[in-house]
Structure 1
């Protein structure tokens, strides 16, 4: 425990089992309390006729001594428990590389009895003075009987400063006269509640009926968290969680902190703030001591990261050097985007793939979370992802805000790449889109589709595309791909194996020789509505399709004067023809787009490219993107 100013510390290294000092280290620490930050206040509510004794079992000498049941003992136990909360929180933030931040306490200069020697010396002996967390004793006008049906907050308000709404204090309140009635099998005067009031008193309260199990000073922490002595049947035992002394200590300390978390504004999430945090008892002890029972437990089981981000935005958790917490930052919303990179890392994210929670099996991020600039990168590991099941993603921002995407696969479709899980291959997407589509892109208005120039047949063999049908009339109506096994994939307002009969629509067949590739696709836009036309160009110069040049509906676009070069020149001049083509090290492997859900008219058309001379892994044929076309 440091005191303000210069502290000289000596660390002695002993050989195991020996009192001889092997080496020593002396360091000097200048401690400057962050008094500019609002503290967490500790308060004990005491009835006017209180016997000044808390519940205490015979194993803690409750019948013959007040060592664990007096008001002074309760103050010491409450203070030490609060220090444990503080240390646990600071270590959590340190582990997340956001600085060793935690709430501070309202402190006072008094006898420091946080160590065993000072505690045993007592206030009237030679105990050292120091700054320790102040525990406010709030005397209530109500009797013990009445206090079991009253408001802790109202009593704090009557006591005055520092418990004034305008100060917006955060308070951990212990109800001293809570008592377990064995006759009625209920706990009287106890409430486990927490409430955050940004413009008033934020309060987390808990009864004192289990306080007997808490440590009074630092040296008692290991004993209190390992004592297997039975608590007996005359004291409160929440759902069988308090059968032993250490169970009771861990359960009650954690549950009280759960309520303090609510006072700081945390919601019901996971870990300490989980609704079923009672099962967290084992993890609680692992944060302070190591024994045969918890040696293999991870120490990350503290706060939910979403709650921690929220805490970080509060003034109680600030550190020197922090950037100002602006209102824009506090109110900023979370936006989830999928960002393609060669190597991706993971921020705070909860992910469910079907009924499977896969959040905890992904690699942890070892980067500085404070420098993320609001970008969430997600590393999809094929061992844990099933592309045929729903993908739900929930992400939290550094200000504690969160956002949920119910259909993660739909989010992936909007990305400029299609990832093939389990491989390093990704398909790049390029498209031409009607500008007005975004304004009308509402659920049910458009349908996403994608197809490959190779497909996996029912016999497991891979077959190449033999023919591509481009259906163009007054507008671009549809596309179908025919494969070597007789299968075809279709996306259009009607079956493209049959010629259109409405308007002037025509079907343009193009055959793909096995040794030729599609090197370009030309797309013309209408001034409004869907795309106007399409032309496909092969590596041998053969091309087919209709661009609806200058509104000439009777032209099929195959005349020699209407060359690809001419359209590219028009494109350069800002005309309505656009060229889609791969880079020199890529090859076109498929198409994708969006069509009107009712008419089938194409609003967006794009190419999918892959690296040259790279065989697509078989997994690509199972991706959900390629299982939404008509056939």
Structure 2
């Protein structure tokens, strides 16, 4: 049999690359071959000598997009890089040192995530123009406004992705509503068909005069809260538009904002964000729009334009936009602040949700008028605070594929439960993600639950105070946030613990505890009522529950086998009867509430649930005794119908 010999192969590991020399191009915030989920990627890097002073251009060449130029200052550069779905090869060219770098990134759009829609609102009789200084005469058309808002949308998107990445959350960001349209994000090939951000233009049913009514101007001394706000006007317009008759997230630009020189007031402007029903909306005026970039190539010129704002023609918002680049910061950054509110973000001690948007430019350009370089660590207020990061991490618009299937949303709100000895629990059926702690009305610290989101967490008042490093007489308030974005507050922890513990009830030996109050937080003008499940410390057998309800809950009556009754609330509306079997008792309540109690469902010890009684408005809450405790009664308050409800419980 012939023999075979194999050639000797001298396999060697590839050589380890030498450390880059001082003139190599380096990318500092993106890995080679990384997969991202936004059309424009914010890239930070360094090029040229690290120990020299210079200001030279670096060029970016990428797929299906014109070459762009960005300043490289003392080796630091920042660039907005265009990507197409799939693999991308990006070339960075630094002519100063005759250096180039080929870099690879994959772009995977997440079409399953709910998008942010960009909308421009214009009055029914509007000429569809906005304020500009004389130098920009003719650059205030509706088409220009569309270009500016589209560019802003991609900058907001890139900012969010970078901020969540820096905080270890992956490149999470919102998706923009896009369509196959003539593109405007590059001035070099304007009109080329691409999948680009769609900007809706809604002609309002309200006139320009109504929009500019001084009573609606947010910064006016004559603002009248009895007059429907601009936010309310545009919610009306959205609801009547077929494109927004489903759950939606909207960034709305009010084109008819106007700097009234005589009044020294911007009319038709409101900086507001939030939501109502299925619509989430952030709005801002167009009074600073003249300073925004119209395209990617315009970002650097816009942020380097130090022209003085002339208040004979345009506004100096908050006296902080006295130069055009500062006006650009406030206009774009403060509008993103309002969009942040629509994504459930609240005000924070630092960052964009404070007034950090005054440094908005620092995210995108490595210099500003009179100052540079600006490395990433010197972007100052242009960041999301960690509280913002934790809220966005669990927002459905910011999901990543590795998060797994989203599943059915649990709509339950969190609640606080008082225990003995200064302890309390946070109950979160949807999972607790964040507990924010404020002292004296100001943020002090927080607990975050990143890996696992518990449904119940027990805290001790002393542990909270130790964490805050505060005195016993300082007011502590708590804000619990769930993974489903539902939240709940305690205004004063001391008052909560003292008012919810040590209650005496007739027929029950010893002290009992009182749950949080669900519904209207004010007791003014209320008729209070209590139902106790015990007599002489022995349980009473419930026979049936008579529930009065219609579109909301009026009240209910507990009827016992001994013929006694307890009435909670009122007896208006229709009446339903729910029979209770021998040995069964009420073990908890499921309620929907807001300014009043919309509806209720009774949980029995046998595991049975009553039908739902009342309406489906408000937030959903489960009211249960903590583990190791038993429910011993119900309390409620009413005016014309039920406005408050809660339970009493004691250790079992």
1:217 paired to 2:295? yes
Give how far 1:216 is off.
1.1
Q: Which of the residues 277, 298, 309 maps onto 1:231?
A: 309
Give how far 1:334 is off.
7.3
> Higher strand share goes to which structure?
2
Give the corresponding residue for 1:10.
Answer: 90
Give the corresponding residue for 2:572.
Answer: none
- Residue deviations 1:165-190 (CA, integer Å, cap 9, x gap): xx111211112122212123222322
8 Å Cα contact 1:305/1:348 also seen in 2: no
Any stretches of 5+ residues in structure 2 without a counterpart?
1-38, 40-81, 214-229, 426-432, 498-508, 515-652
- Residue deviations 1:183-242 (CA, integer Å, cap 9, x gap): 23222322323231243x322222212101111112322332332211111212223122
Mapped to 1, the partners of 2:110 and 2:290 lie a distance apart of: 32
- Provide closer, same or farther for how the CA distance between residues 440 and 303 of structure 1 changes in structure 2, counting only shifts above 3 A: farther
Give the corresponding residue for 1:610.
Answer: none
- Residue deviations 1:324-374 (CA, integer Å, cap 9, x gap): 3654486345799899xxxxxxx96655678997549xxx99xx9334657
Give the corresponding residue for 1:144.
Answer: 208
8 Å Cα contact 2:436/2:478 also seen in 1: yes
Q: Which of the residues 339, 350, 363 maps onto 1:287?
A: 363
Give the corresponding residue for 2:236.
Answer: 154
Give the corresponding residue for 1:89.
Answer: 160
Give the corresponding residue for 1:544.
Answer: none
8 Å Cα contact 2:434/2:482 also seen in 1: no
SS in 2 for 1:98: coil
1:171 paired to 2:250? yes
Mapped to 2, the partners of 1:47 and 1:405 lie a distance apart of: 41
Give the TM-score taking structure 2 as reference length: 0.50
Q: Which of the residues 55, 73, 77 maps onto 2:131?
A: 55
Give the corresponding residue for 1:481.
Answer: none
Give the corresponding residue for 1:475.
Answer: none
SS in 2 for 1:187: strand
Q: Which of the residues 134, 137, 142 maps onto 1:71?
A: 142
Q: Which of the residues 400, 410, 414 maps onto 1:319?
A: 400
8 Å Cα contact 1:353/1:385 also seen in 2: no
Within-5 A mapping of 1:325-340: 327-328=409-410, 331-333=413-415
Mapped to 2, the partners of 1:114 and 1:404 lie a distance apart of: 46
* Larger Rg belongs to: 1
Mapped to 1, the partners of 2:266 and 2:439 lie a distance apart of: 42
Mapped to 1, the partners of 2:467 and 2:257 lie a distance apart of: 52
Give the corresponding residue for 2:430.
Answer: none
Mapped to 2, the partners of 1:335 and 1:290 lie a distance apart of: 50
Give the corresponding residue for 2:182.
Answer: 111
Any stretches of 5+ residues in structure 1 without a counterpart?
340-346, 412-437, 444-631
Give how far 1:289 is off.
3.0
- Residue deviations 1:294-351 (CA, integer Å, cap 9, x gap): 6664668533444444444443222223253654486345799899xxxxxxx96655
Give the corresponding residue for 1:303.
Answer: 384
Within-5 A mapping of 1:235-254: 235-254=314-333
- Provide closer, same or farther for how the CA distance between residues 397 and 175 of structure 1 changes in structure 2, counting only shifts above 3 A: closer
- Provide closer, same or farther for how the CA distance between residues 326 and 402 of structure 1 changes in structure 2, counting only shifts above 3 A: farther
Give the corresponding residue for 1:27.
Answer: 104
- Provide closer, same or farther for how the CA distance between residues 232 and 108 of structure 1 changes in structure 2, counting only shifts above 3 A: same
Q: Which of the residues 94, 112, 118 maps onto 1:42?
A: 118
8 Å Cα contact 1:258/1:272 also seen in 2: no
Mapped to 2, the partners of 1:142 and 1:353 lie a distance apart of: 43
Mapped to 2, the partners of 1:135 and 1:353 lie a distance apart of: 42
Within-5 A mapping of 1:411-560: 440=511
Mapped to 2, the partners of 1:157 and 1:405 lie a distance apart of: 34
Q: Which of the residues 174, 197, 216 maps onto 1:133?
A: 197
Taking CA–CA contacts closer than 8 Å with sequence separation of 6 or more, which of the two structures ends up with the larger relative contact order?
1
SS in 1 for 2:305: coil
**Alpha-carbon RMSD:** 4.4
> Higher helix share goes to which structure?
1
8 Å Cα contact 1:179/1:189 also seen in 2: yes
Mapped to 2, the partners of 1:357 and 1:48 lie a distance apart of: 43
Give the corresponding residue for 2:285.
Answer: 207
Mapped to 1, the partners of 2:187 and 2:381 lie a distance apart of: 30
Give the TM-score taking structure 1 as reference length: 0.52
Give the corresponding residue for 1:265.
Answer: 344
Mapped to 2, the partners of 1:307 and 1:13 lie a distance apart of: 36
Give the corresponding residue for 1:369.
Answer: 450
Give the corresponding residue for 1:494.
Answer: none
Mapped to 1, the partners of 2:458 and 2:320 lie a distance apart of: 39
SS in 1 for 2:165: helix
